[in-house]
Amino acid sequence: MSKSKLLTKVREEIRRRNYSYRTEKAYRRWVIRFVKFHGLTHPLKMEKEEVVEFLNWLANERNVAASTQNQALCAIVFLYKHVLDKPLGAFDNLQRASKPKRLPVVLSPKQARRVLANMGGDARLMAELLYGSGLRQSECLRLRIKDIDFEFNQIWVRNGKGKKDRTTVLPEICKEKLKNQIKRVKLLHQKDLDKGFGKVVLPKALSKKYPNMPKEFGWQYLFPSVRRAEDPRTGKTQRYHKSSSYLHKAIKAAVSQTNIIKKVSSHTFRHSFATHLLQDGYDIRTVQELLGHKNVSTTMVYTHVLKKGGRGVKSPIDH
């Protein structure tokens, strides 16, 4: 199997399993780096030892983060298991990149409001959902019209982290803005339909099973991109959701207009959501469910943030 055939097979297997396009690009890049590291030797001619050597090099020589090494490991395991039909088994001599334990950066309620006050348009509404609903950035970007449930005051998060669905709170302050946003999307969708477009990407094989579903208004993205673009996987011209860079730049610009010196990102609003709920006395299990954490131990990190400096000890200099 040549290099081009190998990458084509990787792409086919990834798409057959309905992995995201970002995952597809990342896995292909890691396969290329792995092959280049071993002097363009075909993976079929290499064993587990060569895989461990590459992963240890990433950790020891390249000093990559633990998440980066883990992504490389997942890509190579996928290659051997699903493409080459040659499962690798356990890795005994793998040196894991260290994962430092850090507390999340959290804004105070006043700081969060100051950042939001310096934002406008779609970016502000998106940031309000991050802070008001505890959404991840990707979850917010992928919201569809049908995911907003005004009757039950909740937002449906479909296919979140770990391929799980969940519901979270719909902030009262966002309701009217969301209704106006839906009206704008409806007008945009109608213009697309009039021009012969109006389709969106659907999860799994729904578009094949229900050919007209990609044009249905309920499946349109809540925050559509300004321009239509060609889907690299199908070649069809569709309207995707806004890019992550759009929100990142808007938050960065808003923070720069304040005197906040914390490193603020879209995920900071999610951290703040969890911390402020615990601060208001909500049960940690409730917060866990709203965030979509698999284990409550992940949610427990926010209880550490709530502790006052020095574990609540009063400094003697303050007496």
Summarize pLDDT for 7-39 with one digit per residue, the tens.
999 999 998 888 888 899 999 999 999 999 999
The residues annotated with a catalytic role in the active site are 136, 161, 267, 270, 293, 302
Q: Is 300 helix (H, G, I), strand (E, B) or coil?
A: coil
Residue 99's identity, in one-letter code, is K
What value does the mean pLDDT take over residues 84-91? 88
Does residue 309 carry a pLDDT above 90? no
Q: How far apart are CA 152 and CA 148, in angstroms?
A: 9
pLDDT of res. 153? 93
Summarize pLDDT for 110-160 with one digit per residue, the tens.
999 999 999 999 999 999 999 999 999 999 999 999 999 999 999 999 987
Does residue 6 carry a pLDDT above 60? yes
- Give the number of other CB atoms < 10 A from CB of residue 59: 19
pLDDT of res. 118? 96
- Give the number of other CB atoms < 10 A from CB of residue 22: 10
- Give the number of other CB atoms < 10 A from CB of residue 301: 16
Percentage above 90 pLDDT, the chain: 69
Percentage above 70 pLDDT, the chain: 94
Q: How far apart are CA 264 and CA 116, in angstroms?
A: 12
Mean pLDDT of the chain: 90
Q: H-helix or E-strand containing 155?
A: strand 154-157
Of 109-113, 170-174, 228-232, the least confident: 228-232
pLDDT band at 205 (very low <50, low <70, confident <90, very high): low
Of 108-112, 147-151, 300-304, 311-315, the least confident: 311-315
What value does the mean pLDDT take over residues 164-179? 94
Of 12-26, 78-92, 204-218, 301-315, the least confident: 301-315
pLDDT of res. 161? 80
pLDDT band at 99 (very low <50, low <70, confident <90, very high): confident
What value does the mean pLDDT take over residues 237-243? 92
Q: How far apart are CA 225 and CA 243, in angstroms?
A: 7
> Which residue did the predictor score with more confidence, 114 or 232?
114
Helix axes 121-133 and 172-194, enclosed angle (nearest 10):
130
pLDDT of res. 1? 55
Q: How far apart are CA 120 and CA 198, in angstroms?
A: 26
pLDDT of res. 45? 92
Does residue 314 carry a pLDDT above 80? no
pLDDT band at 307 (very low <50, low <70, confident <90, very high): low
pLDDT of res. 313? 61
